[in-house]
Amino acid sequence: MPLASESVRLSPTVSYRQQADIAVLWLDNPPVNGLGDTTRAGIHAGLKRAIEDESVVGIVVAGSGKVFCGGADIRQFNTPAATAWPLSRDVQQLIEASRKPVVAAIHGVALGGGLELALGCHYRVVAHDARLGLPEVNIGLVPGGGGTQRLPRLVGVERALDMIQSGAPVTGKAAVRIGLADAATEGAEETRDAGEVVALAVEFCRQAVISSSAHPLVAAREVQGSSVDFDARLASVSRKSRNAAAQRACILCVKAATQLSFGDGLAFERARFDELVAGSESQSLRHIFFAEREAPKFSDGKGATLRDIHRVAVLGAGTMGVGITMSFVNAGIPVTLVEREQAALDRGMAWIRRNYDVTASKGKLTPAQIEERIALIAPSLEFDALADADLVIEAVFEDMAVKQEIFERLDKVCKPAAILATNTSRLNVDVIAASTQRPGDVIGLHFFSPANVMKLLEVVRGKASSLDVIATCLAIAQRIQKVPVLVGVCEGFVGNRMLTPYWREAGFLLEEGASPQQVDRALSAFGMAMGPLTMADLAGMDINWATRKRLAPTRPAHLRYSRVADRICEKGRFGQKTNGGYYRYEPGSRTPIPDPVIDELIAACAREAGIVRRTISDEEIVERCMLALINEGAHILEAGIAQRASDIDVVYVHGYGFPAWRGGPMFYAETLGLDKVLARIRALRDEHGAHWEPAPFLGRIVSSGARTFDRKN
């Protein structure tokens, strides 16, 4: 038996090494061994070499680094590299034609195209803690490499449909149990590299040579009968799902596996993939996928040493404080929760337990896990209890004087190098930081309510915020499974600043002739999670009323101003919490009910403003509200409040219910055409006045001929 050979590089991302009589192909395309063009070419070349080499009796395909394969290189989609020979199906056909067994040695993850590669192999050997799945639906696609045809043949139609439609992975142990894998490593330790699973795969491969002359092909298996009601599955897909088109296509592909030959099923799947990959929904979802990963990066902080965060303190046990506390203890980080009064502290702790009980009732937590998390919280009435925290987050009433007083006290109590963060949603972080003798340690951490649920976190960089403080907060945000976006200081930062013109146009449209329900219905149909007026009622109209009153002295007198929202608040109607806002609400109900009182209030405001009401189309509602968001986003980019246009998209998708399948407001503008967007904004300026002055940045981009906000053509 020949000795182990030296490693041979078959392509820039695949190497070949023979271990006695077994050839091992190593995928080496960091960070996730994506199946780009060079990886596919290398695998194909390695398979041919091993098949033709008489000293080789079997082949193992493995991944270098931390994973087997994270799937296709989606950056290559819609480029020539995506269709360069060999394709995934060419690799799979070569495997299936091999008389020598081919074993996939899976550690870390086998996702998407990575799992499809493994499904094309004769056998799959997995690390016990590996994760295997087909998550393409999350980026608006169906599996395009045979996954919808092979997976049902291994695990059954219903289980395959559940996995493909949800995109949820299974563990290595579960994969063996359901028939997706043939063997798994033992033990409970985390698998850090491919060593153990490759050793098991090599031995498994040798045993397969001994025990079988013909090795099983997934493609040759019959699809087991199923009681799945495909029509019911299709009907259950919500039109508001971020990936509704992809979910429906996945269902149809699995249905095809039950009705067509394997070859025809592959062709059906590929046709659906090609339709989706060229469509706007998938392009938008892929944009958000990359934008989320880009958002935590900032060039100034490269190489900054992170501060240690072992204990967090939260000041305030109200709605935000409770949610922030849960966010950290859910990640296993101890929290000191401080309040001024025992009743408020008890109420906050009871709220936390009630939230966990609700989660447990859904089967997502055990009683023991609840107690573990509650035990990580140290409730206190003593301000001095903040002294040991590495990160302190203030979550008290939105009042500058109150926050300044608190930060003066934090400055004296907190230990050196502690990060002092404010959860303000609008106030000037620089003014707050100036209340301390250590402004470099001060930063804004704007969580979104409910903070234990919402993924977005605006990390607000003050003028004096130290680079290591910024880098540490971006890192801790990811540790607690938030999507952080670095923003600058201005009124409302990114998200709430953009809400101002969005709500402005909604108010103007009401005065001009639309009803609250028409405005909300039009924007919900566009894809927003809820209309702007329902959102205002949910958030509490008194909060923005206080902001408008605070900013009233700086409001230019010549600009149009709608008094509708103010008049509603003057009636003591602050939204759902008072059972009345733009709509009325039955006690204990969140269902908005149109209210003639509000209709008359709107008509009165229009009369006072000299506005002749008219019929408003849904298209006008959507256009004006969306272009208001886009134009303000361009102003924000020009001012440097956001690092990149995609950051604004992340903020609006994760914080404000913008449809992910449209990619966020700035990406949506690019799909409309920036030149067309600018022309419409100019037309609205001519019709409605100075509110619609185009952002100079947008004008310069269009003049330069660029088609995107980052100026790439």
Q: Which residues pair with 126 in a beta bridge?
A: 106, 184
Which phi and psi (to 5°) does residue 488 adopt?
Answer: -100, 180
AA letter at 430:
D
Fold exhibited by the domain 8-277: 2-enoyl-CoA Hydratase; Chain A, domain 1 (3.90.226)
Q: Is 299-487 in CATH node 3.40.50.720?
A: yes
**Is residue 438 helix, strand or coil?**
coil
Q: How many CA atoms lie within 13 A of 216 on its CB side?
A: 14
User: Alpha-carbon torsion 589, 595, 601, 602, what sign?
Assistant: positive
Residues 6+ apart with CB under 8 A from 268: 252, 253, 256, 260
Of 160, 86, 71, 76, the C-alpha closest to 116 is 71
The single residue of 6, 54, 136, 292 carrying the catalytic annotation is 136
Q: Catalytic residue at 632? A: no
State residue 74's pLDDT score. 84
DSSP string, 465-497: --HHHHHHHHHHHHHTT-EEEEE--STTTTHHH
H/E element, 421? strand 419-422
CA angle centred on 709, ends 705 and 713, rounded to 5°: 40
CA–CA dist 321, 445 (Å, integer): 12
Give Cα separations from 153 to 92, 150, 234, 371, 391 (angstroms).
16, 5, 21, 42, 51
* Tally of residues, the chain: 713
CA–CA dist 573, 343 (Å, integer): 27
Q: What are the start and end residues of each CATH 1.10.1040.50 domain in the chain?
A: 495-640+673-704
Residues 6+ apart with CB under 8 A from 486: 295, 296, 298, 459, 461, 470, 474, 643, 647
Looking at residue 126, the DSSP 8-state letter turns out to be: E
CA–CA dist 292, 286 (Å, integer): 10
Of 521, 638, 628, 643, the C-alpha closest to 583 is 521
Q: Are 164 and 143 in contact (CB under 8 A)?
A: yes
CA–CA dist 232, 679 (Å, integer): 45
Q: How far is CA 59 from the centre of its chain?
A: 38
| CB-count exposure of residue 359 (10 Å: 0-12, 13-18, 19+) | middle
Cα-Cα-Cα-Cα dihedral of 494, 496, 500, 505, to 10°?
Answer: 90
CA–CA dist 225, 214 (Å, integer): 25
Q: Are 512 and 613 in contact (CB under 8 A)?
A: yes
For 336-389, the pLDDT digits (tens) are 999 999 999 999 999 999 999 999 999 999 999 999 999 999 999 999 999 999
CA–CA dist 285, 140 (Å, integer): 6
Q: How far is CA 606 from the centre of its chain?
A: 41
State residue 577's pLDDT score. 93
The single residue of 6, 52, 96, 116 carrying the catalytic annotation is 116
State residue 713's pLDDT score. 41
Q: Catalytic residue at 275? A: no
State residue 459's pLDDT score. 98
Neighbours of 666 (CB within 10 A): 28
Cα-Cα-Cα-Cα dihedral of 252, 256, 258, 262, to 10°?
Answer: -150
CA–CA dist 359, 320 (Å, integer): 18
State residue 711's pLDDT score. 60
CA–CA dist 476, 484 (Å, integer): 9
Residues 6+ apart with CB under 8 A from 612: none
State residue 4's pLDDT score. 59
Q: Which residues pair with 61 in a beta bridge?
A: 25, 104
Q: In the 3-class helix/strand/coil scheme, how is 441-469 assigned residue by residue?
A: HEEEEEECCCCCCCCEEEEECCCCCCHHH
CA–CA dist 165, 163 (Å, integer): 6
Q: What are the start and end residues of each CATH 3.90.226.10 domain in the chain?
A: 8-277
CATH class for the region spanning 495-640+673-704: mainly alpha
Residues 6+ apart with CB under 8 A from 140: 243, 245, 246, 276, 279, 281, 282, 283, 284, 285, 286, 661
Place of tokens 């190497």: 15
CA–CA dist 346, 330 (Å, integer): 20
Q: At what angle do helices 157-166 and 147-155 cross, to 10 degrees?
A: 140
C-alpha gyration radius of the chain: 29
State residue 79's pLDDT score. 85
Q: What share of the chain is helix, strand, coil (3-state, %, to 5)?
A: 50, 10, 35
User: Alpha-carbon torsion 475, 477, 480, 482, what sign?
Assistant: negative
Query: For residue 149, what are its two tokens?
Result: 């045809």
- Spell out, as residue ranges, where the chain has pLDDT lower than 70: 1-5, 225, 711-713
State residue 710's pLDDT score. 81
Query: For residue 655, what are its two tokens?
Result: 């914080």
Global pTM reads 0.92
Place of tokens 């269009």: 702
Longest dimension (CA), the chain: 95
Neighbours of 556 (CB within 10 A): 8
State residue 83's pLDDT score. 85
